[in-house]
Amino acid sequence: MTLTGRRIVVVGGGIGGLAAALALSLRGAEVKVLEQAETIRAVGAGIQISPNGGRVIQALGLGGALASRSCPARAVVLRDYRAGQEVLRLDLTTLPADQEYHFVHRADLVDLLAERARAAGVQIRLLQKVAAAEPGTPPRLALCNGDHCGDAALVIGADGLHSVVRRALSGGAAPVFTGQVAWRAIVPNDVDHPPEATVHMGPGRHLVSYPLGDGAAVNIVAAEERSAWTPEGWAHEDDPANLANAFSGFGGFVPDLLKRVDRVGLWGLFRHPVAPQWHGDGIALLGDAAHPTLPFLAQGANMALEDAWTLAACLDADPSQPSALARYQHLRKHRCRRIVAAATGNAWKYHLANPLIRGAAHLGLGLAGRVAPQRMLRQFDWLYGHDVTA
């Protein structure tokens, strides 16, 4: 194997970083993950692993493990906010047999990836916060504790939105507040929530919910348009009453879900540009470090998984690291830009404020769903049908 014995350092122990470390280690590389936290843990709550990301999980040997710790998705359902009336149903059970869709707690997926990576020989070093990265042969990392790392052939920046490694390639780019914020919470499944991703759509806001694991809990992500700026990040706690007030006009099972929220996070949604350059001398980016996305297509984790597999495959197929990295960017950049653009465009579709326009739009969606349900689902073939492991 081309990668046998090659030393690679991955900055960031999230889903993308651990998947890349595992994929590279399975190809013979000597991989070290630097994680700034004191333990491998996931910030956030539930995520959706759509078929394109699920194929990478399968290829990494974790398909059965994911199935045992996730909830298989039956449908994506759009509902009107007032009484929860169904507008459109996308039946995921009619997808091809190789296209599995799962709801899983982020922490469970991180645990699976970390356990498998360690078993494959990946070194995971905790409390290793990177202060600066410098491209070169070899590339160099300066850590906040005063240590330096300069013995790797490649440094992979999987260090998220505020990537230190990205700054080494293209400098910082100021994010733009979208005028939207989002709450995130997990509550007990007292409403018998079906195994569906349900989107309640209302004027200037929407609420997404779906069950996790064995179905005992429900993940909630609720977005609202507002002019007031809210800091970026998932660690800002808010009063559950603020969430309840923002969605007080919503019907269906939304009120019962919100009654059970006793702890909720709030964060501002910012638009970040896709990195102009994903690689340099001895450095590469993946996941949010390369292409941050808004959450309105549920593709952040899936893009990171695709990146991880593609990067490892390109490096393994080409003994020239520079040309392998160039190939990686070529294969990924257009697709990720398309996904980011689609996610950005989804919010306004959920937030129609004019009741006449909203009524007409919902009527049209419902008619299309009844007349041509497969056509409505197949509009996502470009997304779900993509297989980076082929």
133-166 pLDDT, tens digit per residue, is 999 999 999 999 999 988 999 999 999 988 999 9
* 170 pLDDT tier (thresholds 50, 70, 90): confident
- C-alpha gyration radius of the chain: 21
Task: Judge whether residue 228 has pLDDT over 90.
Answer: no
Q: Looking at residue 38, what is its pLDDT? A: 78
Q: Find out whether 87 and 78 touch, Cβ atoms under 8 Å.
A: yes
Average pLDDT, the chain: 93
The active-site residue, picked from 210, 328, 350, 384, is 210
How many Å separate Cα 227 from the centre of its chain? Answer: 25
Helices (H), 100-163: 106-119
210 annotated active-site: yes
> Which residues on neighbouring strands pair with residue 46, listed in sequence order?
105
Quickly tell me which residue has 């995520």 as its tokens.
47
What is the pLDDT, as a whole number, of residue 307? 98
Which residue has tokens 């539930």? 46
The predicted structure's pLDDT at residue 190: 93
d(Cα 108, Cα 125) in Å, to the nearest integer?
20
In the numeric block, which tokens belong to residue 196? 């569906």
The pLDDT tens digits for 103-113 are: 999 999 999 99
Predicted local distance difference test score (pLDDT) of residue 351: 92
According to DSSP H, which parts of the chain are helical? 15-26, 51-59, 63-68, 106-119, 164-170, 240-246, 254-259, 300-317, 321-350, 355-371, 373-378, 381-384
Interval 175-190 mean pLDDT: 92
The pLDDT value recorded for residue 98 is 87
For 188-210, the pLDDT digits (tens) are 999 999 999 999 999 999 999 99
Q: Tens digits of per-residue pLDDT, 342-374?
A: 999 887 889 999 999 999 999 999 899 999 989
Only one residue has tokens 């049209």, namely: 364
Please enumerate, as own/partner, the contacts of 125-128 that have beta carbons within 8 Å and a separation of 24 or more: 125/32, 125/33, 125/34, 125/35, 126/13, 126/35, 126/37, 126/38, 126/39, 126/40, 127/35, 127/36, 127/37, 127/38, 128/34, 128/35, 128/36
pLDDT at 346: 85
